[in-house]
Copies of this chain bind each other. A is one copy, B any other.
Amino acid sequence: MDSLNIKDIAKLCGVGVSTVSRAINNHPDVNAETKAKIIKIIEQNNYIPNNSARNLKRNNSKTIAVLVKGITNPFFSPLIKTIEKEINQRNYSMLIHQIDSFSDEVDIAVELIKEKKLQGIIIVGGKFTHNTEKLCRINVPFVLTTSIAQNANLDSYSSISIDDYKESYKAVDYLCRLGHKKIAIITAKEDESIGKYRLNGYLNALKDHGIPINKNLIKYMHKDIDEYSLENGKICTYELLSSNEDFTAIFAISDNLAIGVCKAILDYGKSIPDDYSVLGFDGIELTSYFNPTITTIKQPVVEIGLESTKILFDLINQKCGTVHKIYDGELIVGGSCRSIL
Contact = CB atoms under 8 A, between A and B. Distances in A.
A12 interface: no
B100 A51 contact: yes
Interface size class of A (residues with CB under 8 A): 35 or more
A39 B221 CA distance: 13
Interface string A275-317: 0000000000110111100000000000000000000000000
Interface in A1-53: 24, 32-33, 35-36, 39-40, 42-44, 48-53
A60 B115 contact: yes
B115 A36 contact: no
A262 interface: yes
A102 B42 contact: yes
A212 interface: no
A243 interface: no
B230 A286 contact: yes
A80 interface: yes
A259 B286 CA distance: 9
A152 interface: no
Nearest to A272: B291
A112 interface: yes
Contact of A286 (B56, B57, B60, B286): B286
A122 B9 CA distance: 31
Contacts of A43: 190
A24 B165 CA distance: 31
A104 interface: yes
B230 A289 contact: yes
23 contacts: A24-B102, A32-B224, A35-B223, A40-B223, A42-B102, A43-B190, A48-B103, A48-B107, A49-B102, A49-B103, A50-B103, A51-B102, A53-B103, A53-B104, A56-B111, A60-B115, A72-B74, A230-B285, A234-B289, A260-B289, A263-B291, A266-B291, A291-B291
